Protein backbone atom coordinates (compact mmCIF):
# COMPACT_ATOMS: atom_id res chain seq x y z
CA UNK A 1 0.00 0.00 0.00
CA UNK A 2 1.14 3.54 -0.73
CA UNK A 3 1.24 6.21 1.98
CA UNK A 4 -0.33 9.46 0.79
CA UNK A 5 -0.55 12.78 2.63
CA UNK A 6 -4.20 13.87 2.69
CA UNK A 7 -4.41 17.38 4.11
CA UNK A 8 -1.64 16.70 6.64
CA UNK A 9 -2.82 13.18 7.55
CA UNK A 10 -0.99 10.15 6.19
CA UNK A 11 -3.28 7.43 4.84
CA UNK A 12 -2.50 4.13 3.19
CA UNK A 13 -4.19 3.58 -0.15
CA UNK A 14 -3.97 0.93 -2.85
CA UNK A 15 -3.20 2.06 -6.39
CA UNK A 16 -2.90 0.18 -9.65
CA UNK A 17 0.88 0.59 -9.49
CA UNK A 18 1.42 -1.73 -6.53
CA UNK A 19 -1.64 -3.88 -7.26
CA UNK A 20 -1.86 -4.14 -11.08
CA UNK A 21 -4.66 -5.84 -12.96
CA UNK A 22 -2.46 -8.85 -13.77
CA UNK A 23 -2.08 -9.52 -10.03
CA UNK A 24 -5.84 -9.19 -9.48
CA UNK A 25 -6.52 -11.65 -12.30
CA UNK A 26 -4.07 -14.17 -10.84
CA UNK A 27 -5.69 -13.97 -7.39
CA UNK A 28 -9.21 -14.53 -8.77
CA UNK A 29 -8.33 -16.91 -11.62
CA UNK A 30 -10.29 -19.80 -10.08
CA UNK A 31 -13.25 -17.70 -8.88
CA UNK A 32 -16.68 -17.29 -10.42
CA UNK A 33 -18.04 -13.82 -9.65
CA UNK A 34 -21.83 -13.82 -9.47
CA UNK A 35 -23.35 -10.34 -9.72
CA UNK A 36 -26.73 -10.45 -8.00
CA UNK A 37 -28.82 -7.55 -9.21
CA UNK A 38 -28.54 -5.51 -12.39
CA UNK A 39 -29.78 -2.11 -11.30
CA UNK A 40 -27.63 0.82 -10.13
CA UNK A 41 -24.18 -0.76 -9.59
CA UNK A 42 -24.62 -4.14 -11.29
CA UNK A 43 -24.15 -3.13 -14.95
CA UNK A 44 -21.06 -0.99 -14.41
CA UNK A 45 -19.25 -3.37 -12.09
CA UNK A 46 -20.08 -6.52 -14.06
CA UNK A 47 -19.16 -5.11 -17.47
CA UNK A 48 -15.89 -3.67 -16.14
CA UNK A 49 -14.99 -7.01 -14.55
CA UNK A 50 -15.90 -8.86 -17.74
CA UNK A 51 -13.88 -6.50 -19.94
CA UNK A 52 -10.94 -6.86 -17.56
CA UNK A 53 -10.94 -10.62 -18.08
CA UNK A 54 -12.62 -11.98 -14.94
CA UNK A 55 -15.11 -14.88 -14.91
CA UNK A 56 -18.44 -13.11 -14.35
CA UNK A 57 -22.07 -14.24 -14.35
CA UNK A 58 -25.27 -12.30 -13.70
CA UNK A 59 -28.12 -13.29 -11.38
CA UNK A 60 -31.36 -11.40 -11.99
CA UNK A 61 -35.11 -11.97 -11.88
CA UNK A 62 -36.16 -13.36 -15.23
CA UNK A 63 -38.38 -11.27 -17.52
CA UNK A 64 -37.77 -8.10 -15.50
CA UNK A 65 -36.61 -4.82 -17.04
CA UNK A 66 -33.15 -5.45 -15.57
CA UNK A 67 -33.06 -8.94 -17.12
CA UNK A 68 -33.85 -7.41 -20.50
CA UNK A 69 -31.18 -4.74 -19.97
CA UNK A 70 -28.62 -7.45 -19.20
CA UNK A 71 -29.47 -9.18 -22.47
CA UNK A 72 -29.17 -5.87 -24.31
CA UNK A 73 -25.72 -5.43 -22.71
CA UNK A 74 -24.57 -8.75 -24.16
CA UNK A 75 -25.16 -11.24 -21.36
CA UNK A 76 -26.52 -14.57 -22.62
CA UNK A 77 -29.16 -16.63 -20.82
CA UNK A 78 -27.80 -20.01 -19.76
CA UNK A 79 -24.20 -18.96 -20.42
CA UNK A 80 -23.52 -16.02 -18.13
CA UNK A 81 -27.06 -14.85 -17.27
CA UNK A 82 -29.13 -16.84 -14.78
CA UNK A 83 -31.93 -16.41 -12.31
CA UNK A 84 -30.75 -15.30 -8.89
CA UNK A 85 -30.71 -18.65 -7.12
CA UNK A 86 -28.87 -20.43 -9.95
CA UNK A 87 -26.22 -17.71 -10.05
CA UNK A 88 -25.78 -17.96 -6.28
CA UNK A 89 -25.15 -21.70 -6.62
CA UNK A 90 -22.51 -21.18 -9.30
CA UNK A 91 -20.71 -18.21 -7.76
CA UNK A 92 -17.73 -18.48 -5.42
CA UNK A 93 -17.91 -14.72 -4.91
CA UNK A 94 -21.44 -13.35 -4.61
CA UNK A 95 -21.60 -9.63 -5.28
CA UNK A 96 -24.84 -8.64 -3.54
CA UNK A 97 -25.77 -5.55 -5.55
CA UNK A 98 -29.54 -5.49 -5.15
CA UNK A 99 -31.02 -2.38 -3.57
CA UNK A 100 -31.04 -2.29 0.23
CA UNK A 101 -34.72 -3.23 0.17
CA UNK A 102 -34.03 -5.96 -2.39
CA UNK A 103 -31.25 -7.37 -0.23
CA UNK A 104 -33.63 -7.71 2.71
CA UNK A 105 -36.26 -9.38 0.51
CA UNK A 106 -33.87 -11.90 -1.09
CA UNK A 107 -31.66 -12.63 1.91
CA UNK A 108 -33.00 -16.06 2.84
CA UNK A 109 -32.70 -17.20 -0.79
CA UNK A 110 -29.12 -15.99 -1.09
CA UNK A 111 -28.04 -17.09 2.39
CA UNK A 112 -28.62 -20.80 1.78
CA UNK A 113 -26.03 -20.73 -1.01
CA UNK A 114 -23.31 -19.11 1.13
CA UNK A 115 -21.33 -22.28 1.61
CA UNK A 116 -17.87 -22.64 3.13
CA UNK A 117 -15.12 -20.33 1.82
CA UNK A 118 -17.35 -18.35 -0.52
CA UNK A 119 -17.18 -14.56 -0.35
CA UNK A 120 -20.16 -12.25 0.11
CA UNK A 121 -19.45 -8.83 -1.41
CA UNK A 122 -21.35 -5.59 -0.82
CA UNK A 123 -21.01 -2.11 -2.27
CA UNK A 124 -22.88 -0.55 0.66
CA UNK A 125 -22.58 -1.22 4.39
CA UNK A 126 -26.32 -0.84 5.04
CA UNK A 127 -27.39 -4.48 5.33
CA UNK A 128 -24.56 -5.50 7.67
CA UNK A 129 -24.42 -2.34 9.79
CA UNK A 130 -28.16 -2.24 10.46
CA UNK A 131 -28.48 -6.03 10.85
CA UNK A 132 -30.93 -5.61 13.73
CA UNK A 133 -33.34 -4.09 11.21
CA UNK A 134 -32.36 -5.97 8.04
CA UNK A 135 -31.71 -9.43 9.57
CA UNK A 136 -28.77 -9.82 7.17
CA UNK A 137 -26.38 -11.90 9.27
CA UNK A 138 -23.92 -13.94 7.17
CA UNK A 139 -22.68 -17.38 8.24
CA UNK A 140 -19.28 -17.47 9.95
CA UNK A 141 -17.57 -19.74 7.40
CA UNK A 142 -17.35 -17.22 4.54
CA UNK A 143 -15.53 -13.96 3.78
CA UNK A 144 -17.64 -10.80 3.99
CA UNK A 145 -16.15 -7.86 2.08
CA UNK A 146 -17.04 -4.51 0.56
CA UNK A 147 -15.97 -2.33 -2.35
CA UNK A 148 -17.89 0.94 -2.59
CA UNK A 149 -17.21 3.05 -5.70
CA UNK A 150 -17.59 6.74 -4.87
CA UNK A 151 -20.18 7.41 -7.53
CA UNK A 152 -22.93 5.86 -9.58
CA UNK A 153 -22.54 2.68 -11.60
CA UNK A 154 -23.10 4.78 -14.70
CA UNK A 155 -20.09 6.98 -13.83
CA UNK A 156 -18.01 3.91 -12.98
CA UNK A 157 -18.66 2.45 -16.43
CA UNK A 158 -18.23 5.72 -18.31
CA UNK A 159 -14.88 6.46 -16.68
CA UNK A 160 -13.70 2.88 -17.32
CA UNK A 161 -14.54 3.13 -21.01
CA UNK A 162 -12.62 6.42 -21.13
CA UNK A 163 -9.61 4.70 -19.57
CA UNK A 164 -10.00 6.33 -16.18
CA UNK A 165 -11.20 5.14 -12.78
CA UNK A 166 -13.57 6.02 -9.94
CA UNK A 167 -12.09 5.96 -6.42
CA UNK A 168 -13.52 3.31 -4.09
CA UNK A 169 -13.44 2.38 -0.43
CA UNK A 170 -12.96 -1.21 0.70
CA UNK A 171 -13.64 -3.05 3.94
CA UNK A 172 -13.38 -6.50 5.45
CA UNK A 173 -16.14 -7.49 7.87
CA UNK A 174 -15.20 -11.16 8.10
CA UNK A 175 -12.03 -12.98 7.00
CA UNK A 176 -12.73 -16.69 7.22
CA UNK A 177 -10.36 -17.86 4.49
CA UNK A 178 -7.40 -15.69 5.43
CA UNK A 179 -7.49 -14.39 1.85
CA UNK A 180 -10.26 -11.80 2.19
CA UNK A 181 -7.88 -8.86 1.79
CA UNK A 182 -6.45 -10.11 -1.49
CA UNK A 183 -9.94 -10.96 -2.73
CA UNK A 184 -11.44 -7.57 -1.95
CA UNK A 185 -8.54 -5.52 -3.35
CA UNK A 186 -8.48 -7.65 -6.51
CA UNK A 187 -12.20 -7.03 -6.95
CA UNK A 188 -11.71 -3.31 -6.32
CA UNK A 189 -9.09 -3.17 -9.06
CA UNK A 190 -11.28 -5.34 -11.30
CA UNK A 191 -14.36 -3.12 -11.13
CA UNK A 192 -12.28 -0.14 -12.26
CA UNK A 193 -11.28 1.76 -9.13
CA UNK A 194 -8.87 4.65 -9.51
CA UNK A 195 -7.45 4.00 -6.06
CA UNK A 196 -8.78 2.16 -2.99
CA UNK A 197 -8.89 3.42 0.59
CA UNK A 198 -9.74 1.28 3.60
CA UNK A 199 -12.76 1.79 5.82
CA UNK A 200 -15.28 -0.28 7.78
CA UNK A 201 -18.82 -1.28 6.87
CA UNK A 202 -20.13 1.08 9.55
CA UNK A 203 -18.05 4.09 8.47
CA UNK A 204 -18.93 3.48 4.82
CA UNK A 205 -22.66 3.58 5.41
CA UNK A 206 -22.48 6.49 7.86
CA UNK A 207 -20.50 8.63 5.41
CA UNK A 208 -22.57 7.46 2.44
CA UNK A 209 -25.97 8.22 3.95
CA UNK A 210 -24.73 11.58 5.23
CA UNK A 211 -23.32 12.47 1.81
CA UNK A 212 -26.43 11.47 -0.11
CA UNK A 213 -28.65 13.50 2.17
CA UNK A 214 -26.07 16.28 2.29
CA UNK A 215 -23.78 17.80 -0.32
CA UNK A 216 -24.24 15.08 -2.95
CA UNK A 217 -28.01 15.38 -3.34
CA UNK A 218 -30.24 16.69 -0.54
CA UNK A 219 -28.33 19.79 0.54
CA UNK A 220 -27.34 20.79 -2.98
CA UNK A 221 -30.97 20.60 -4.15
CA UNK A 222 -31.95 22.70 -1.15
CA UNK A 223 -29.32 25.34 -1.95
CA UNK A 224 -30.21 25.42 -5.63
CA UNK A 225 -33.92 25.71 -4.82
CA UNK A 226 -33.46 28.51 -2.27
CA UNK A 227 -31.21 30.68 -4.45
CA UNK A 228 -33.37 30.16 -7.54
CA UNK A 229 -36.49 31.12 -5.56
CA UNK A 230 -34.89 34.32 -4.24
CA UNK A 231 -33.75 35.39 -7.71
CA UNK A 232 -37.20 34.74 -9.17
CA UNK A 233 -38.85 36.59 -6.29
CA UNK A 234 -36.63 39.60 -7.01
CA UNK A 235 -37.69 39.70 -10.65
CA UNK A 236 -35.02 37.72 -12.47
CA UNK A 237 -36.10 35.60 -15.44
CA UNK A 238 -36.13 31.79 -15.18
CA UNK A 239 -33.21 31.59 -17.61
CA UNK A 240 -31.10 34.06 -15.66
CA UNK A 241 -31.96 32.50 -12.30
CA UNK A 242 -31.11 28.99 -13.54
CA UNK A 243 -27.88 29.99 -15.23
CA UNK A 244 -26.62 31.81 -12.14
CA UNK A 245 -27.74 29.02 -9.79
CA UNK A 246 -27.08 25.74 -11.60
CA UNK A 247 -25.64 26.04 -15.10
CA UNK A 248 -22.59 28.11 -14.21
CA UNK A 249 -21.93 25.92 -11.18
CA UNK A 250 -22.13 22.56 -12.93
CA UNK A 251 -20.72 23.51 -16.33
CA UNK A 252 -18.02 26.01 -15.37
CA UNK A 253 -17.06 26.20 -11.71
CA UNK A 254 -17.48 22.66 -10.32
CA UNK A 255 -15.22 21.21 -13.05
CA UNK A 256 -12.54 23.70 -11.91
CA UNK A 257 -12.93 22.43 -8.33
CA UNK A 258 -12.60 18.85 -9.58
CA UNK A 259 -9.54 19.77 -11.61
CA UNK A 260 -7.41 21.53 -8.98
CA UNK A 261 -9.43 22.34 -5.86
CA UNK A 262 -11.58 25.13 -4.43
CA UNK A 263 -8.69 27.57 -4.01
CA UNK A 264 -7.79 27.17 -7.69
CA UNK A 265 -11.39 27.77 -8.71
CA UNK A 266 -11.45 30.93 -6.57
CA UNK A 267 -8.15 32.06 -8.14
CA UNK A 268 -9.65 31.70 -11.62
CA UNK A 269 -12.67 33.90 -10.89
CA UNK A 270 -12.95 37.70 -10.76
CA UNK A 271 -11.68 39.59 -7.73
CA UNK A 272 -15.29 40.60 -7.01
CA UNK A 273 -16.36 36.94 -6.96
CA UNK A 274 -13.36 36.00 -4.82
CA UNK A 275 -14.08 38.68 -2.22
CA UNK A 276 -17.77 37.80 -1.95
CA UNK A 277 -17.15 34.04 -1.75
CA UNK A 278 -14.50 34.48 0.94
CA UNK A 279 -16.80 36.76 2.94
CA UNK A 280 -19.86 34.50 2.77
CA UNK A 281 -18.68 30.86 2.85
CA UNK A 282 -18.26 30.73 6.63
CA UNK A 283 -21.75 32.13 7.14
CA UNK A 284 -23.16 29.28 5.08
CA UNK A 285 -20.96 26.78 6.94
CA UNK A 286 -22.15 28.03 10.32
CA UNK A 287 -25.78 28.02 9.17
CA UNK A 288 -25.79 24.41 7.95
CA UNK A 289 -23.36 22.83 10.46
CA UNK A 290 -26.16 22.10 12.97
CA UNK A 291 -28.23 20.51 10.20
CA UNK A 292 -25.34 18.21 9.25
CA UNK A 293 -24.81 17.33 12.91
CA UNK A 294 -28.50 16.42 13.23
CA UNK A 295 -28.27 14.41 10.00
CA UNK A 296 -25.23 12.41 11.12
CA UNK A 297 -26.84 11.61 14.46
CA UNK A 298 -29.94 10.36 12.63
CA UNK A 299 -27.75 8.10 10.49
CA UNK A 300 -25.67 6.90 13.45
CA UNK A 301 -28.72 6.06 15.57
CA UNK A 302 -30.26 3.95 12.81
CA UNK A 303 -33.21 6.30 12.38
CA UNK A 304 -32.46 6.96 8.70
CA UNK A 305 -32.29 3.20 8.12
CA UNK A 306 -35.61 2.73 9.92
CA UNK A 307 -37.28 5.40 7.78
CA UNK A 308 -35.87 3.89 4.58
CA UNK A 309 -36.85 0.32 5.40
CA UNK A 310 -40.34 1.35 6.52
CA UNK A 311 -40.88 3.37 3.33
CA UNK A 312 -39.72 0.54 1.09
CA UNK A 313 -42.13 -1.90 2.74
CA UNK A 314 -45.16 0.08 1.61
CA UNK A 315 -47.00 -1.56 -1.28
CA UNK A 316 -47.38 1.80 -3.01
CA UNK A 317 -43.81 2.96 -2.34
CA UNK A 318 -42.89 3.19 -6.01
CA UNK A 319 -45.96 5.28 -6.78
CA UNK A 320 -45.14 7.66 -3.95
CA UNK A 321 -41.51 7.89 -5.01
CA UNK A 322 -42.45 8.67 -8.60
CA UNK A 323 -44.82 11.37 -7.36
CA UNK A 324 -42.00 13.03 -5.38
CA UNK A 325 -39.59 12.76 -8.31
CA UNK A 326 -42.22 14.25 -10.61
CA UNK A 327 -42.55 17.14 -8.17
CA UNK A 328 -38.86 17.87 -8.70
CA UNK A 329 -39.06 17.34 -12.46
CA UNK A 330 -42.11 19.60 -12.79
CA UNK A 331 -40.75 22.43 -10.61
CA UNK A 332 -39.89 25.58 -12.52
CA UNK A 333 -36.16 25.36 -11.81
CA UNK A 334 -35.78 21.92 -13.43
CA UNK A 335 -38.21 22.62 -16.27
CA UNK A 336 -36.01 25.62 -16.98
CA UNK A 337 -32.97 23.37 -16.72
CA UNK A 338 -34.41 21.06 -19.37
CA UNK A 339 -34.79 24.00 -21.73
CA UNK A 340 -31.29 25.31 -20.97
CA UNK A 341 -29.67 21.93 -21.65
CA UNK A 342 -31.31 21.77 -25.07
CA UNK A 343 -29.68 25.10 -25.92
CA UNK A 344 -26.14 23.95 -25.12
CA UNK A 345 -23.96 23.90 -28.25
Q: Render pLDDT for 176-231 as a digit per residue (tens, 0 to 9).
A: 999 999 999 999 999 999 899 999 999 999 999 999 999 999 999 999 999 999 99
Residue 329 is predicted with a pLDDT of 95
Q: Compute how many other C-beta atoms are within 10 angstroms of the C-beta atom of residue 313.
A: 11
| Architecture of the domain spanning 2-199 | 3-Layer(aba) Sandwich (3.40)
Partners of 144 in the β-ladder: 120, 174
- Cβ atoms of 200 and 171 within 8 Å: the answer is yes
Closest CA to 336 of 217, 228, 219, 253: 228
Q: How far is CA 33 from the centre of its chain?
A: 20
β-strands 56-59, 81-82 pairing: parallel
Can you give the residue ranges of every domain in the chain? 2-199, 211-342
Give me the tens of pLDDT residue by residue for the chain, a chain 345 residues long: 788 888 888 888 999 999 999 999 999 999 999 999 999 899 999 999 999 999 999 999 998 999 999 999 999 999 999 999 999 999 999 999 999 999 999 999 999 999 999 999 999 999 999 999 999 999 999 999 999 999 889 999 999 999 999 999 999 999 999 999 999 999 999 999 989 999 999 999 999 999 999 999 999 999 999 999 999 999 999 999 999 999 999 999 999 999 999 999 999 999 999 999 999 999 999 999 999 999 999 999 999 999 999 998 888 988 999 999 999 999 999 999 999 999 998
Residue 63 is predicted with a pLDDT of 87
Q: Is 124 a catalytic residue?
A: yes
Alpha-carbon gap, residue 201 to 252, rounded angstroms: 35
- Given the residues 124, 173, 176, 236, the one annotated as active site: 124
Amino acid sequence: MAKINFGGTLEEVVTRDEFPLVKALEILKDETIAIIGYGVQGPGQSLNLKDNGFNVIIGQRKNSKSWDKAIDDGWVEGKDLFEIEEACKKGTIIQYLLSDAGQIEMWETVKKHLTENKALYFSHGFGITYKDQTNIIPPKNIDVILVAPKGSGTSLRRLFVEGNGLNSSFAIHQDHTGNARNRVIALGIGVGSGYLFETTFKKEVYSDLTGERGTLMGAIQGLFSAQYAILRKKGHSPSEAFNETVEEATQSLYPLVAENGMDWMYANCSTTAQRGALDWWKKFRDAVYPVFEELYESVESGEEARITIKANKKSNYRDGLNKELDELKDSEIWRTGSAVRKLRP
